Chains A and B, each alone.
Chain A
Amino acid sequence: MSPTPVYIICSPRPQVGKTLIGRLLSEFLLLKNGGVVSFDINLKEPSLLDYLPDITETADVIDTYGKMQLMDRVIVNDGVAKVIDLGYHAFDEFFKMCDEIGLMKEALRRSVAPVILFVADSDRASVRGYGTLQSLIPPNALAVVDNEFVVRGELPPVMARSHVLRFAALPVFLKTYIDRLNFSFTGYLRQERDTSTELHQWIRRSYTTFRDLELKMMLQRS
């Protein structure tokens, strides 16, 4: 049985597109594998739970009990991919906990494969946050998400040297469209006959990016 992936989407900054990436990835994994469990650790931002209530659970890392509820579910090799949408307020506490409880080592032992997707921004908090991750996470389990809608230019050099997943900016009217709570990326792919639309191609490119990431991780493991 191959290791169960756990994708942790994070940033120390609000409004950088974590939940958008979480939605995309969750829908991609649901489409590809037929199942996914997502965890929403957002109290102060638009929430994954609002978009994907059927596959999303809420969690918090404020106290030890909340950490147990989350991590004891996540660190299980049950073949069901997990997605954690980590709110910016929980960034420091979550990774401090990961360091203290030895998440990466235990994951290896239990055949679980954490993949940290750091949603980039060019401000100092993001650079510092990424530095923290580099000291805690092996490079092959850490990737940078370049959300063009947020970064609007070059990534900070320290992030540009990492494995980067690029997501092109959508026009504002399409951004508004996909931000509707009842919008489904996979649903759009299935319903929209015209494959040449910008949104259709954007979703396909995004799914391809995730597929490439999966392949890369699989090759590294083998």
Chain B
Amino acid sequence: MFAPKAGDGDLPIAPAIGGTVQGNSMAKPVVIVVGADKGGVGKTTVSRTLLDYFSANNVPTRAFDTESPRGTLMRFHPDITEIVDMTTTSDQMKIFDTLNAASPSVTVIDVRAGLLSPALASLRDIGFLDAAKSGQITFAVFHILGPSIASLDEIAETANFMVGAKYFLVKNFINDTQFFQWDQATYNSYFHRIKDATELTIPKLNEMAYEQVEVSSVPFLKFVANKGKEDEAANYSFVLRGYVRHWLANVWSEYDRIKLTDLVGGKSTTARGEK
């Protein structure tokens, strides 16, 4: 009796196998670090949306969870995630010495709280940042920011490592914060100071929807599709799935805006519709 409207709640539809989007085995390796020194700002949540985004766009991806020994990212994406301790040389080798050999060309590293600056320092010390600067590797940092001065103060420190890297300042709205936009002087002192940084906005997800996904321990995409861990039919609330679908679509539209699939060597899907 009515036709569906094309709307903001749509998720980009992944093409069929053999479609337009494929990971390129000859492409240079891509490393995306998601992190912050401050805790509780939503690093793993953003990592999960990235893995879902790449999955929907058929970009082969592997992930490392540095929350050793128990990984939160691992709980949601066990098939592609490995837990590592980034402070050890052996695990650093596991990640970076396999960049060219690994078949997924995209590596997402969820860096646990307090470890972003040390991790970037390590990458500088092993020559990784120089490799990124010379174009051998595509390197991007998603710096997750919370609505506190302590979190925003990290920007200047992290920016020092960002020569040759794509630096994304991710404003993660974990509550109804304004990120100090009501105080332009404070806001500008943090967000307009780093010349080559790109801002991203992650909107707030309904609390109950977030908790339901937590309980379900499935990727956001599976939750929206009403599926359990093993792809079995689930019985999640239609309302909560709707909230997650709407939120994920908004997050992905931010990734589309920064042309994330171009960055990782894929092509973004253009068709809109629900997966």
User: What chain B residues lie within 8 Å of A137 (beta carbons)?
Assistant: 2
Q: How far is the CA of A105 from the CA of B11 in the complex (A)?
A: 13
A108–B206 alpha-carbon span in the complex (Å): 24
Tell which of B1, B2, B238, B243 touches A106, judged by Cβ atoms closer than 8 Å.
B238
Interface positions, chain B 77-98, Cβ under 8 Å from A, are none
- Over the window 211-246 of chain B, the binary record of Cβ atoms lying under 8 Å from chain A Cβ atoms (1 yes, 0 no) is 000000000000000000000000001111111011
List B residues 1-37 near A (Cβ within 8 Å).
1-5, 7, 9
Tell me how far the C-beta of A47 lies from the nearest C-beta in chain B, rounded to whole angstroms: 23
A75:B238 contact, CB within 8 angstroms: yes
B237 with A72: CB separation less than 8 A:
yes
Q: Which of A99, A102, A103, A113 has the most CB of B within 10 A?
A: A102
- Give the interface segment out of A49-57, A63-71, A184-192: A63-71
> Do residues A97 and B239 form an inter-chain contact, with CB atoms below 8 A?
yes
CB distance from B225 to the nearest CB of A (A): 12
Asked if residues A102 and B239 are in contact (CB atoms below 8 Å), the reply is no
- Knowing A101-B246, A102-B246 touch, does A68 contact B1 (C-beta < 8 A)? no
| Chain A neighbourhood of B3, CB < 8 A | 138
Inter-subunit contact B4/A108 (CB<8 Å):
yes
Q: Which A59-86 residues sit within 8 Å CB-CB of chain B?
A: 64-65, 67-68, 71-72, 75
A141 to B4, CA, bound (A): 11
B185 located at the interface, meaning its Cβ lies under 8 Å from any Cβ of chain A in the complex: no
Q: What's the nearest-Cβ distance from chain A to residue B74, in Å?
A: 28
Q: Mark B173-206, 1 if CB is under 8 A from A, else 0.
A: 0000000000000000000000000000000001
Contacts A104-B4, A141-B2, A217-B1: A68 and B246 contacting too (C-beta < 8 A)?
no
Decide yes or no whether B274 CB sits under 8 A from chain A. Answer: yes
Whether A102 pairs with B242 at a CB distance below 8 angstroms is yes
A197 interfacial by beta-carbon distance below 8 Å: no
User: In the assembled complex, which residues on chain B have CB atoms less than 8 Å from the CB atom of A68?
Assistant: 208, 237, 239-240
- Asked whether any CB of chain A lies closer than 8 Å to the CB of B153, the reply is no
Residue of A nearest to B207 (CB): A64
Which of B209, B237, B242 is close to A103, meaning CB atoms less than 8 Å apart? B242
A64 CB contacts on chain B under 8 angstroms = 206-209, 239-240, 243
Say whether A140 faces chain B, with CB atoms less than 8 Å apart.
yes
> Is the pair A105, B239 in contact by a Cβ cutoff of 8 Å?
no
Q: A100–B1 contact, CB under 8 A?
A: no
A176 within 8 A of B: no
CB <8 Å contact, A102 and B237: no
Cβ contact within 8 Å between A65 and B274: no
Which B residues lie within 8 Å of A75 (CB)?
238
CA distance A71 to B241 in the complex (A): 12
Give the distance in Å from the alpha carbon of A34 to the alpha carbon of B237 in the complex: 28
* In the bound complex, CA of A103 to CA of B246 (Å): 11
Partner of B242, one of A100, A108, A138, A140: A100
Give the docked Cα–Cα distance between A3 and B2 (Å).
12
Answer whether residue A220 sits at the interface, using C-beta atoms and an 8 A cutoff: yes
Indicate if the CB atoms of A105 and B240 lie closer than 8 Å: no
Say yes or no: A102-B206 contact (C-beta < 8 A), given A72-B239, A97-B239.
Answer: no
**A221 at interface by CB-CB < 8 Å:** yes
User: Please, which residues of chain A bring their CB within 8 A of the CB of B2?
Assistant: 104, 108, 137-138, 140-141, 220
CB-defined contacts of A101 to chain B, threshold 8 Å: 9, 238-239, 241-243, 245-246
B220 to chain A, nearest CB (A): 15
Give the docked Cα–Cα distance between A140 and B3 (Å): 9
Chain A CB count within 10 A is highest, among B9, B206, B240, B242, for B242
A3 → B minimal CB distance (Å):
7
Residue of A nearest to B2 (CB): A138
Interface contact A100-B238, CB-CB below 8 Å? no
Bound form: Cα–Cα A106–B239 in Å: 10
Complex: A113 Cα to B2 Cα, angstroms: 8
Closest 5 CB pairs of A and B: A101-B242, A138-B2, A64-B208, A221-B1, A102-B9
User: What are 5 A-to-B residue pairs whose CB atoms are below 8 Å?
Assistant: A64-B206, A72-B238, A105-B7, A113-B1, A217-B1
Which A residues fall within an 8 A CB radius of B?
3, 64-65, 67-68, 71-72, 75, 97, 99-106, 108, 113, 137-138, 140-141, 217, 220-221
20 extra interchain contacts, Cβ-Cβ under 8 A, other than A65-B208, A102-B242? Answer: A64-B206, A64-B208, A68-B240, A71-B239, A72-B239, A101-B238, A101-B239, A101-B245, A101-B246, A102-B9, A102-B245, A102-B274, A103-B242, A104-B4, A105-B5, A106-B238, A106-B242, A113-B1, A140-B1, A220-B2
